[in-house]
Structure 1
């Protein structure tokens, strides 16, 4: 098995088109552009179908990186996994997290145990009528297994976060399916985001053995007892396939980082956030020589309209979508416990953790 080293750097941005921080890191030698495998970001859009800050951010990054890699912007987008999550409500702060990976001859003598590793894979392109259905689930499961192998992770227990960028439906895509005599899971572009996120998350659960493979189309967005404890999925208009990024710990990694996770049962589950922090050495009695790099979490409004017996209005607000409410609530909770608003909180947690909750993962850097 090959030995790799992984780098993780969080960079603040002043807007979706701001690449100055990344370029400064590259200019100083802190980041080798040829080693960049993935970039996850939070942009200050609405997180909906018409959130073009995501596409703008990806375009800006690809244009900036193209001359550094000797590629066209389109080739950069094919080479690097870009996952931009729209919505920085409340105290959430726009930023990007850059993941790099390089092969090394062997592990340094001072590194022991399992360290953070990253792997990536893509599904095939989906037909519009396959989104939110078993075809998307099955293909995602295959890609998760491929990404685990790419990361050098053999044990599913070592997988702590699976980030997926998945497609959504547009009116043109719905019409194209209808023209072939096919019916899509929904005709609503906004609702299709939930179907795609949910099916992708169920694909993660199947791949990791969290649920069985006997999933039916009608289980998506209905059987909320079926979920993954590590899946984080985000829908976007800019693609028709799933991009799968697996983050975990591996004995084949020589990185300075570790990742751990916990599962929030609801939007105010502070103990779960503390458990995730404790899993990588933080908490009431923090281990010395560790630096918090970033926290990644999913947020969802409880579908029964209440949190711990008290009614909430997130699902009834016609001015602000429930996903925006959820991001602000969970973002504020995590920021207060972590001491920073520059955390990655994504809305829409269908089948990503229990209904109304979601996974939360923490990356720590171990200082030598």
Structure 2
């Protein structure tokens, strides 16, 4: 049977507010049996101690268990990205797939319709975080998620969303008690190292970077190595990797299509505008209300450039001792993209190590097909 993807963007009043999803299930707009992933933008600091992510994950998990078994609920990838700085609006993006008798559109300018695949990796040993062992684990996971989506050509993958683990002092202590070493004792730095290794794993799986180009000393250090389709978010609430692959396939049905772009810096919206145009938007200025109705989801990464400049002008994101640079970057990029699309219910994840060029980041656009 042909598969069809659906994506639902639902506002959230708080990290535990699942009422909008519950209402969509009650109305029949979402079949809970078809939910494969939920991305959440939750208010919080997005750092090591952002327990709003865990609160949201717990709330979503309990909600899912009201509609499916505990094992089925556990299989749903819950990718929570903390931090809704600036005007970014907290929300859920629910990814669903169902079987359908509808004929697929076949090959076209975007390779057919939106296809979704997912997987979870084994638990990552704490000593492997931020090292090539994590790169290899994620690369294998991305390949498995592609197979789950029925995507064989890496060129048909437009976005890979990963939730990866981080180190806490307790986890560091457990590793050292076993005689293992960890890549860092700085728990905040461990978030970036985990994102970095995960992004390079995506790049290897999609053929963007050769595996022989990567070694431990290049992770979160050699910024010339990057993926144009990786989006990685680290959190305290898991020990493995949740991987969701979004792409296109002529074997899938439905009105949804996806494209991606790579921003060279935090204000580089023109590649995003070009992606919108490839999906049939006029995008001559800010999207009109009618065009915004076709825009289903906008997913993005954000990063403060390591040279401390944006187009030759100094920024202070890396000098602020009170607020993490990831928080500045999220607000900055969300504002730039909101000015383009006309709303701020945008999934912007901070920390783009090896995810796009230094200071930039990948963006995915999911929309309904024109007409």
Interval of TM-score (by shorter of Structure 1 and Structure 2): over 0.9
Summarize deviations over 1:62-81 as a string: whole Å, max 9, x none: 11221222x24xx3542200
2:103 matched residue in structure 1: 107
1:132 matched residue in structure 2: 130
Report if aligned partners of 2:126, 2:175 keep a CA contact under 8 Å in 1.
Answer: yes
Which among 99, 117, 120 is matched to residue 115 of structure 2? 117
1:178 matched residue in structure 2: 176
Query: Comparing 277-286 with 131-140, which one deviates more in the overlay?
Result: 277-286
1:25 matched residue in structure 2: 24
1:147 matched residue in structure 2: 145
Q: How many residues align?
A: 364
**CA deviation after TM superposition for structure 1 residue 105, in Å:** 4.1
Using a 3 Å threshold, how does the CA distance of structure 1 residues 126 and 333 change in structure 2: closer, same or farther? same
State the SS of the aligned residue for 2:231. strand
**CA deviation after TM superposition for structure 1 residue 109, in Å:** 7.1
Which among 200, 205, 208 is matched to residue 206 of structure 2? 208
Cα distance in 2 between the residues matched to 1:111 and 1:15: 41
Q: Does 1:293 align with 2:296?
A: yes
1:165 matched residue in structure 2: 163
Runs of 4+ that moved beyond 2 A: 103-106, 108-113, 283-290
Cα distance in 1 between the residues matched to 2:308 and 2:35: 42
Query: Comparing 190-199 with 269-278, which one deviates more in the overlay?
Result: 269-278
**CA deviation after TM superposition for structure 1 residue 278, in Å:** 1.9
**CA deviation after TM superposition for structure 1 residue 364, in Å:** 0.2
Using a 3 Å threshold, how does the CA distance of structure 1 residues 318 and 149 change in structure 2: closer, same or farther? same
TM-score (norm 1): 0.95
Query: Comparing 149-158 with 42-51, which one deviates more in the overlay?
Result: 149-158
2:269 matched residue in structure 1: 270
TM-score (norm 2): 0.94
Summarize deviations over 1:216-270 as a string: whole Å, max 9, x none: 1111011111110000000011211111100001011102100001100001102
Cα distance in 1 between the residues matched to 2:104 and 2:149: 19
Report if aligned partners of 2:46, 2:81 keep a CA contact under 8 Å in 1.
Answer: yes
What stretches of structure 1 of length at least 5 have no aligned partner?
Answer: none
Q: Which runs of structure 2 are paired with 1:356-367 in the superposition (5 Å)? A: 356-366=359-369
2:355 matched residue in structure 1: 352
Which among 91, 94, 98 is matched to residue 90 of structure 2? 94
Provide the alpha-carbon RMSD of the alignment.
Answer: 1.9
Report if aligned partners of 1:62, 1:76 keep a CA contact under 8 Å in 2.
Answer: no
Q: Does 1:82 align with 2:78?
A: yes
State the SS of the aligned residue for 1:325. helix
Report if aligned partners of 2:280, 2:370 keep a CA contact under 8 Å in 1.
Answer: no
Cα distance in 1 between the residues matched to 2:160 and 2:105: 30
Report if aligned partners of 2:113, 2:248 keep a CA contact under 8 Å in 1.
Answer: yes
Which among 313, 322, 331 is matched to residue 328 of structure 1? 331
Cα distance in 2 between the residues matched to 1:109 and 1:116: 11
1:47 matched residue in structure 2: 46
State the SS of the aligned residue for 2:47. coil
Q: Which runs of structure 2 are paired with 1:332-343 in the superposition (5 Å)? A: 332-343=335-346
Using a 3 Å threshold, how does the CA distance of structure 1 residues 21 and 210 change in structure 2: closer, same or farther? same
What stretches of structure 2 of length at least 5 have no aligned partner?
Answer: none
Report if aligned partners of 2:7, 2:93 keep a CA contact under 8 Å in 1.
Answer: yes
State the SS of the aligned residue for 1:132. coil
Report if aligned partners of 2:53, 2:237 keep a CA contact under 8 Å in 1.
Answer: no
Report if aligned partners of 2:44, 2:52 keep a CA contact under 8 Å in 1.
Answer: yes
Query: Comparing 104-113 with 15-24, which one deviates more in the overlay?
Result: 104-113
Q: Which runs of structure 2 are paired with 1:210-289 in the superposition (5 Å)? A: 210-214=208-212, 215-284=214-283
State the SS of the aligned residue for 1:16. coil
Cα distance in 2 between the residues matched to 1:141 and 1:110: 28
State the SS of the aligned residue for 1:68. coil
Using a 3 Å threshold, how does the CA distance of structure 1 residues 238 and 77 change in structure 2: closer, same or farther? farther
